[in-house]
Amino acid sequence: MKPSPEIVERIKQLRDDINGHNHQYYVLDAPTIPDAEYDRLLRELQQLEQQYPELINPDSPTQRVGAEPLKSFAQVTHTVPMLSLDNAFDEQGLRDFDRRLCERLHLDQIDYTAEPKLDGLAVSLMYKNGRLVQAATRGDGYSGEDITQNVRTIHCVPLRLLGQGFPSVLEVRGEVYMTRQGFAQLNKLQVRRGDKLFANPRNAAAGSLRQLDPRVTSDRPLMMDCYGVGQVDDGHGANSLPDRHSAILAALKSWGFRVNNHIETVSGVEGCLRYYQHIHSIRDSLDYEIDGVVFKLDQIELQNKAGFVARAPRWAVAHKFPAQEEITRVNAIETQVGRTGALTPVARLEPVFVGGVTVTNATLHNIDEVQRKDVRVGDTVIVRRAGDVIPEIVSVVMEKRPDNSSVFELPTRCPVCGSDALRVEGEAVTRCSGGLYCPAQRKEAIKHYASRRAMDIEGLGDKLVEQLVDEQFVNHVDDLYALEAGPLMTLERMGEKSAHNLIVALQKSRQTTLPRFLFALGIREVGEATARTLAHHFGSLEAIMAADAETLQQASEIGPVVAAHIVSFFAQDHNQQVIRALREKGVSWPDIEVDQVTQGHPLAGKTVVLTGTLEQLTRNEAKERLLALGARVAGSVSARTDMVIAGRDAGSKLDKARSLGVEVVDEAGLLRMLAG
């Protein structure tokens, strides 16, 4: 059947697109589409050329392996071409591959070498008489780039082979890649240097190998796993390597090469499928990126019989994992408020199937990340999903950006409760300041309020708080004091006694101290020590609420960041309403007479450590009284410790204090200081 003009034009368009993407991916290391999209374009072209073979020409991407190498490196011709692999994208595709191979070789079952498919850059290493003489990239499969000096900087690549028995000419092939940990460290270094971040470990590895200055490459955390051989000559024109691929890999390992430790030999297609499922299950625990597994016929003689097609061996296949990167469109950017008040931009996406699930949302982390990637509504973007990690936008396809797009700006008020959204200088996250009131934060606010070192409401644990909020018994912390035993008994695991005990604990908590109440409010950066400092410096809640940032910083150890959080918290009408409601329901505390603050006490400003068992005070009581006198109570002894209070059975802390010459006081001495 003669192809229509539309078919001819579609084939031309596909070839142009694929060639363009090849250039971006292989030559410039700047891919604009994910691998899954590229694979779809190539499959469509293959199907059309299979249907209309008269349209095939030598320039088609299906008739070549890759793309031309960069011109800035010397050219290296591969004596044995570095061909690519055909792909199987599902179980049926793998079964078809195995069936075809069995039929071609007249076998019922085939043994395969199975290995993870590393997501890196294929390279060739040439050894002569055991010495590394040349390293090259794959390039277009027939010629690549001479990267010998760069590869020599990779520590896991032997410059001289170990052991003996290796051929006089040995070309080893493998994958250069970067571990996830190494990639994270490299990007941290890029941030410190003010340089551009790498998009993913594969791009980082490829860019590192293509540095003209090998000193740059030597700073990059590159690894290489070997997966096979090319040219081999034992000095007499013969190949003296073992007759099985798995044995060749074992020989390479003995000569000093790194070989992936998850390589196995499996039997038949069922063995292949079991291996695939196993590697897929551990994928996210690996410290390197993989996008599938590779199966190679293990017997070399059978490989030779199976032969090759135009661009790939018939005896090997890459069984790809479900795509973890896809291309889609940003329909909207919304702001979510987390349980700690953090405002997080979230992209609402045109639904797309990624990594085995349909993705409709992707996190944008914070406003700095939105600005760095320049994500806008209407953009075409690449989305990545890895395991159970929340999907994220990798990059924007800039050439597809609509003309009317506008820069996203984070709201200045919380979209949930309307409180001010505050971003303190030096922090990446913008937060809602309506901590007591904001529905997005209510569970965490109540849990903190009820905690032992805050209002100490015994029996009000995390699970019960979850129930109270979910059943709408409690919306804000002041609602706790309106609870009654009867309705509480309807909750799961809440009998009559438990309900009664909770009401008693709530009644008891109405009487507290100013430091505890301040801490219970959950103001950002205001811990126990800061709450106590504020209470003893200002004496009353009203004085603290009325203070501006400059006045707050007059208190000991209150800096501009903490002061900003305090001012913002009390500036919110919602928070003030909740505090008034708590007071109306009987929550009270005595003010502290400012003229009674013992700033001149010998313990004021001293760092004290408690150790051992006290007889007349509990550890918490001693800590409270020390803090009230202006002391700092630390958990460990160091050279900066001023005093150690040693009770009965004091152990290693006492020994360390004596070794450092730190003053040691017993309980009687402590009581005298507290009294005086």
Domain check: are 380 and 245 in the same one? no
For residue 407, being part of any structural domain is answered with: no
* Chosen domain end from 579, 594, 609: 594
- For the stretch 391-437, pLDDT in tens is 889 889 999 999 999 999 999 999 988 988 988 777 778 989 888 88
Instruction: Using the 3D structure, point to which of 264, 296, 320 is the last residue of a domain.
Output: 320
For residue 31, the enclosing domain spans 5-63
Model pLDDT, residue 596 = 47
Mean pLDDT of 637-653: 86
Looking at the structure of the chain, the number of domains it has is 5
Same domain? For 603 and 590 the reply is no
d(CA 180, CA 188): 12
pLDDT reported for residue 72: 66
pLDDT tens digits along 4-44: 889 989 988 998 888 778 767 754 657 788 888 888 898 89
Residues 119-145, buried b or exposed e (16+ Cβ, 10 A)?
bbbbbbbbbeebebebbbbbbbbebbb
Q: Between 550 and 385, name the one with better pLDDT.
A: 550
- Tell me, what's the pLDDT at 275? 97
Residue 386 falls inside a structural domain:
yes
367 shares its domain with 471: no
Is the pTM for the entire model greater than 0.85? no
pLDDT for residue 574:
86
411 lies in some domain: no
Question: What secondary structure does DSSP assign to 157-193, as a single string?
Answer: S-SB--SS---SEEEEEEEEEE-HHHHHHHHHHHHHH
Residues 449 and 389 in one domain: no
Higher pLDDT, 54 or 267: 267
Strands (E), 280-367: 290-297, 316-320, 325-337, 342-354, 357-363
CATH of the domain at 606: 3.40.50.10190
Q: Establish whether 585 is a catalytic residue.
A: no
Report, as an integer, the average pLDDT of 32-60.
84
- Looking at the domain assignment, is residue 408 inside a domain? no
Report which of 395, 330, 393, 340 is spatially closest to residue 365, judged by C-alpha positions.
393
Choosing from 12, 71, 117, 253, the catalytic residue is 117
Supply the Cα-derived Rg of the chain in whole angstroms: 34
In terms of domains, do 455 and 560 share one?
A: yes
Give the per-residue pLDDT at 619: 79
CB within 8 Å of 570: residues ≥ 6 apart: 544, 545, 576
Residues 254 and 304 reside in one and the same domain: yes
Q: What would the pLDDT profile of 373-403 be if each residue is shown by its tens digit?
A: 999 999 999 998 765 567 889 889 999 999 9
What does the pLDDT read at residue 65? Answer: 44
Q: Does residue 219 sit in the same domain as residue 125? A: yes
Mean pLDDT of the chain: 87
pLDDT for residue 594 is more than 60: no
- The mean pLDDT of 540-568, rounded to a whole number, is 88
- Residues 478 and 519 placed together within one structural domain of the fold: yes
| Close Cβ partners of 479 (under 8 Å, ≥ 6 residues apart) | 473
Q: What is the CATH number of the domain that holds 56?
A: 1.10.287.610
For residue range 67-101, what is the model confidence (pLDDT) as tens digits? 454 456 888 999 998 988 988 988 999 999 999 99
- Contact between 318 and 293 under an 8 Å Cβ cutoff? The reply is yes
Whether residue 481 sits in one domain with residue 603: no
Structure tokens at 109: 């079952």
Integer angstrom CA distances of residue 34 from 99, 329, 355, 394: 30, 14, 12, 10
- 95 and 235: one domain? yes
Residue 70 lies in a domain: no
Residues 104-113: pLDDT tens digits?
999 999 999 9
Q: Are residues 141 and 277 in the same domain?
A: yes
Give percent of the chain above pLDDT 70: 94
The predicted structure's pLDDT at residue 391: 85
Q: pLDDT at position 597, please?
A: 45
Look at residue 437 and give its three-state secondary structure.
Answer: coil
Do residues 94 and 241 both lie within one domain?
Answer: yes
- Summarised one tens digit per residue, pLDDT across range 195-242 is 778 878 888 898 888 888 888 888 899 999 999 999 999 877 777 899
Residue whose token pair is 């798995």: 246
Share of the chain above pLDDT 90, in %: 43
Q: Is residue 405 part of a domain?
A: no
**Taking a C-beta distance cutoff of 8 angstroms, is the pair 127, 327 a contact?**
no
